[in-house]
Amino acid sequence: MDFHHLQYWQQRAQALKIENRLFINGRYQAAVAGETFAVENPAAQRELVQMARGGQADIDLAVKAAREVFERGDWSQATPSQRKTTLLKLAALMEEHHEPLALLETLDTGKPIRHSLRDDVPGAIRCLRWYAEAIDKVYGEIAPTGNHALALIQREPIGVVGAIVPWNFPLLLACWKLGPALAAGNSVVLKPSEKSPLTAVYLAALAQQAGLPDGVLNIIPGYGHDAGKALALHPDVDALTFTGSTQVAKQLMTYAGESNMKRVWLEAGGKSANIIFADCPDLDKAAQGAAAGIFYNQGQVCIAGTRLLVEESIQQEFLQALRKHAAAFEPGNPLDPQTIMGTLIDHGHCEKVVGYIEQGLEQGAALFLDGRDHSQGSQQSYLGPTILTQVDNAMSVAREEIFGPVLAVTPFNGEQQALELANDSEYGLGAAIWTRDLSRAHRMARQLKAGTVFVNNYNDGDMTVPFGGYKQSGNGRDKSLHALDKFTELKTTWISLE
């Protein structure tokens, strides 16, 4: 039996030994307070493991270890090419451990194993490799001062970085932080989401095996209000890098202000508009892109195309094509390699998403496709693709981040109205335009207030392009060389030549 079969993954899941301790200063260990919390598999509604629950005392230990190794220079003073070698080894080890990593991700989050194998794990590996390969090619600068002086501008690692990540792409988003932060020479304390800590904890052993010095990477699973808050308030953390909700992002800014004014980099929520013009080059392809743009990862994607703005003259035709492509997202067992839609992260979140559907209907939206049909019992986390039409941009389903497979459809007439609707949002993570008119595409792209604008695709991209948001979608950028800005300080050395 091979990995194309459900039974293969079921057997592997049964045989899996899950590491359930914190990783501090190169050693797996229980939490100082001895506490644990349950990590659950949302598809089986079953506890996977009792995980050590990090708190203030564990964060203190981790930050101390991170600081000591940073000041000692084992990693921070290593040459860029030495750091590159170690990170490339880590990427190679992740490749060797591709299957257990993908399996842990699927068991922990309910996302389809085919996506963990195809997207999450390879994406995380690519990211580490990319920064490893980049770091010994980044040069400093000499300022154009004139001949009386020589002014060098260099990037230095910032120190101890606290990384706090969510549950929707646990390993991938952790690596979006770890790649540039470690490549630049920092020490990191990573707090994964309490809902999905398994891959981060597994990664620690691989990093050690790759030769990352003790203390450079510490992993502290735990709750946000506890371990997360302790990390964010810690006076010896130099920078925080966060991916998660806008609400928590705002709290982190407060914590930074209340403590040591640490730099705070925030990748937060989204409510991205996907705009379909009547002159879109291929309606069917646009419908397929729109369906994947909202239903992939059960709609739990920060940049999901949650608001579909469709030109009124093609609305009916487009909705029919959309229904066809939505049908591909039939919820099923995440361990089955045929499944392309798994479960939401947990039952509580599923209820919240269903609540949004009900609110939308109460506020006057119409139900075009009802994913609630997929309910399988009172504690289930399955929800199918849901499409609400006749959505007014003032409704909560158009304004708030639902973070589930719910698409809000609003018709428009003409470019100006599309632009106004798209920009009428607190968020500004992504936007897409489908048109064959090149001038219109450029015009719109310039005026859309979003970190990324897709033209005739939804959510394409790679490591070379920055990712992040305008407005309350955050600040700073993940991916690309620009991410190094978050994890380095610029040092000027002014040398008088007179």
Residues involved in catalysis: 267, 302
CB of 330 to ligand NAD, least distance (A): 24
- Number of residues in contact with ligand NAD, rule: CB under 6 A? 31
Task: Examine residue 403 and tell whether it contacts ligand NAD (CB under 6 A).
Answer: yes
- CB closest to ligand NAD, residue no: 224
Would residue 459 be called left, alpha or beta, if left means φ above 0 and alpha means ψ between -120 and 50 degrees?
left
Task: Examine residue 168 and tell whether it contacts ligand NAD (CB under 6 A).
Answer: yes
Tokens standing for residue 99: 């299957």
Please list every residue from 94 through 123 that binds ligand NAD, using CB under 6 A.
none
Task: Examine residue 277 and tell whether it contacts ligand NAD (CB under 6 A).
Answer: no
Task: Examine residue 228 and tell whether it contacts ligand NAD (CB under 6 A).
Answer: yes
Candidates 124, 175, 207, 302: give the one binding ligand NAD (CB under 6 A).
302
CB of 150 to ligand NAD, least distance (A): 40
Q: Give the H or E element holding residue 391.
A: none
CB atoms under 10 Å from CB of 367, counted, come to 15
Nearer to ligand NAD by C-beta: 248 or 321? 248
Nearer to ligand NAD by C-beta: 170 or 385? 170
How far apart CA 96 and CA 130 sit, in angstroms, is 18
CB of 483 to ligand NAD, least distance (A): 12
Task: Examine residue 22 and tell whether it contacts ligand NAD (CB under 6 A).
Answer: no
Binding mask 125-164 for ligand NAD (x = CB under 6 A): ---------------------------------------x
For the chain, first and last CA: distance in Å? 76
Binding mask 314-343 for ligand NAD (x = CB under 6 A): ------------------------------
Nearer to ligand NAD by C-beta: 325 or 486? 486
Candidates 55, 269, 337, 385: give the one binding ligand NAD (CB under 6 A).
269
Task: Examine residue 166 and tell whether it contacts ligand NAD (CB under 6 A).
Answer: yes
Nearer to ligand NAD by C-beta: 267 or 311? 267
The amino acid that residue 188 corresponds to is: V
How far apart CA 473 and CA 279 sit, in angstroms, is 30
Task: Examine residue 19 and tell whether it contacts ligand NAD (CB under 6 A).
Answer: no
User: In terms of DSSP bridges, do strands 141-142 and 149-157 run parallel, antiparallel, or are they unpaired?
Assistant: antiparallel
Binding piece for ligand NAD, criterion CB under 6 A, among 32-40, 89-97, 228-236, 318-326? 228-236
> Do 275 and 422 contact (CB within 8 A), yes or no?
yes
Task: Examine residue 248 and tell whether it contacts ligand NAD (CB under 6 A).
Answer: yes
In sequence order, the β-bridge partners of residue 267 are 243, 474
Candidates 36, 56, 251, 423: give the one binding ligand NAD (CB under 6 A).
251
Q: Which residues bind ligand NAD (CB under 6 A)?
A: 164-168, 173, 191, 193-194, 223-225, 228-229, 232, 243-245, 248, 251, 267-270, 302, 401, 403, 429, 469, 473-474
